[in-house]
Each structure stands twice: as structure tokens, then as C-alpha cells.
Amino acid sequence: MTALTNREEAALERDALVPFLLQDRLEELGAEFEEAAEFTSHVVVHGSLITGQNMRSADEASRAFLTALASRCA
């Protein structure tokens, strides 16, 4: 899962275009939402869930996925 933070959505001027802000919705549903500085890579691995903060997290999230996959295949 990847989600832009509310601040990143606002910085891209998309906060008024989307039906809801994903960060808000996830927090409403009880998720713990961790964030780093805007538009920096930030990945969290929690069990089999791998999440990235934004598009800059794609590389790091991919590496985390491959690491998780390799550990399960070993």
C-alpha cells in the first residue's frame, strides 16, 4: 500500500480533487499512519504488509518486497 500524506496531497494541489484523503480515511479506520518529510522515501514493513509513503518510496518498497519474498522462499 502506498499513500500520499495529507500535506503531500495539498502540495500537489490534489487535496480538493480527490473524494477523500487516504491518510484521513486510514486513520479513521484505526490505522497507524507513519510519515516522513514530504516527498522523501519512507517504507514500513509490518509482517507481510509493506507500505510506502509516496512515489519516491517505490524503489525502497520494491527492495523490501524482494527481501520478504526471498526470506519466505529460503
> pLDDT digits over 8-46, tens only?
999 999 999 999 999 999 999 999 899 999 999 999 999
Rounded CA gap, 53 and 36, in Å? Answer: 8
Rounded CA gap, 57 and 69, in Å? Answer: 18
Rounded CA gap, 37 and 53, in Å? Answer: 10
Tell me, what's the pLDDT at 50?
95
In the chain, what are the domain boundaries? 6-73
Angle at 61 between CA 55 and CA 63, to 5 degrees: 130
Average pLDDT over residues 64-68: 96
Angle at 52 between CA 21 and CA 34, to 5 degrees: 65
**Three-class DSSP category at 41:** coil
Tell me, what's the pLDDT at 60?
96
